[in-house]
Amino acid sequence: MSLLSEMRDKLTKSLTVCLDVRALNNQLLDNLIEVINQNNEKYPAKSCQLRFKVVDGEEAMQVDLFSKLFRVSPSDDLMEDIYNLTNTRAVLA
pLDDT tens-place string over residues 35-47 = 999 999 999 888 8
Residue 4 to residue 92: CA distance in whole angstroms: 14
Query: CA 60 from chain center: how many Å?
Result: 22
pLDDT of 38 reads 97
Nearest to 71 by CA among 36, 28, 38, 19: 36
Is 72 within 8 Å of 44 (Cβ atoms)? no
The predicted-structure confidence for 46-71, as pLDDT tens digits, reads as follows: 889 999 999 998 989 999 999 999 99
Q: What is the DSSP letter of 23?
A: G
Domain ranges of the chain: 4-92
Considering the chain, what is the average pLDDT of its residues? Answer: 92
Residue 77 to residue 38: CA distance in whole angstroms: 10
